[in-house]
């Protein structure tokens, strides 16, 4: 029984080894095409490598880079996101998050790109490029938010100026306004009385 188990384990080990060797062969071909800027051919080889060895992180990472080079940014981002949730390799995770940051920055998703660069630095604090890109994204986000604040202030000013209601005025201002209204009212009454007197005591028509 023990011999049988050992034979089965050996078979699976050899099979797994053969699959990895096969995947590595596809990766080497893919890398050759990638260096020659033949991205479609490189993509096909990396996909073959993943079909032979689905958990191959090198094939997955290189495929994401190839997709990015072909402007298939959404596909690249999805693949990197999937890999980041499955990998425990800190060195690889730093590269995955860095590339996520680059893609998100290009799409102007600044807040998400900032978080991606932070994750890259959490996995590799010595990554100078991740630190530089993080600073650039933070600065760009700050500059983007400044015009929005100015626009909000402009929109608020007219409301503040026109809305000086009695409740917002002081007691002194209210009294002054009431006095002015009373004076105007008295002037209007005087004019009306004067006009009425002129009509009643004015020149009459001749008697014939």
- CA atoms of 82 and 61, how far apart (whole Å): 11
Within a domain: 82 = no
The answer on 20 and 64 residing in a single domain is yes
Within a domain: 54 = yes
C-alpha distances in Å from residue 64, one per residue of 18, 74, 140: 24, 10, 26
State pTM to two decimals.
Answer: 0.63
The overall average pLDDT reported for the chain is 79
Domain of residue 99, residue span: 91-143
Give the pLDDT confidence score for residue 161 in this predicted structure.
47
55-102 per-position pLDDT tens digit: 999 999 999 999 999 999 999 999 999 999 999 999 999 999 999 999
Within a domain: 170 = no
139-164 per-position pLDDT tens digit: 999 998 886 655 665 566 555 444 44
Give the pLDDT confidence score for residue 163 in this predicted structure.
46
CATH number, residue 102: 1.25.40.10
| Joined tokens for residue 194 | 């004067």
Residue with more model confidence, 71 or 5: 71
Within a domain: 139 = yes
**Which parts of 107-170 fold into alpha helices (H)?**
110-123, 128-162
Provide the percentage of residues in the chain whose pLDDT is more than 70.
63
Decide: 52 and 78 in contact? Cβ < 8 Å: no
C-alpha distances in Å from residue 97, one per residue of 47, 54, 71, 107, 117: 21, 21, 18, 15, 6
Within a domain: 173 = no
Residue 200 pLDDT greater than 50, yes or no = no
Report the 10 Å Cβ neighbour count for 103: 20
If one counts the domains in the chain, the total is 2
């Amino acid at each position: 029984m023990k011999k049988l188990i050992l034979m089965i384990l050996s078979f699976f080990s050899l099979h797994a080894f053969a699959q990895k060797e096969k995947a590595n062969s596809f990766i080497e071909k893919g890398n050759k095409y990638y260096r020659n800027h033949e991205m479609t051919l490189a993509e096909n080889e990396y996909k073959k490598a993943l079909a032979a060895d689905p958990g191959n992180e090198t094939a997955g990472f290189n495929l994401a880079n190839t997709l990015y080079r072909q402007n298939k940014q959404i596909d690249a981002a999805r693949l990197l996101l999937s890999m980041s949730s499955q990998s425990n390799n800190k060195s690889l995770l730093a590269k995955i998050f860095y590339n996520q940051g680059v893609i998100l920055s290009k799409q102007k998703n600044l807040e998400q790109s900032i978080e991606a660069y932070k994750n890259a630095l959490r996995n590799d604090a010595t990554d100078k490029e991740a630190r530089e890109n993080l600073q650039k994204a933070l600065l760009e986000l700050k500059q983007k938010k400044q015009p929005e604040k100015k626009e909000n202030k402009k929109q608020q000013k007219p409301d503040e100026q026109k809305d000086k209601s009695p409740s917002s005025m002081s007691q002194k201002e209210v009294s002054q306004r009431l006095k002015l209204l009373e004076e105007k009212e008295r002037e209007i009454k005087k004019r009306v009385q004067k006009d009425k007197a002129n009509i009643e005591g004015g020149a009459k028509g001749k008697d014939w």
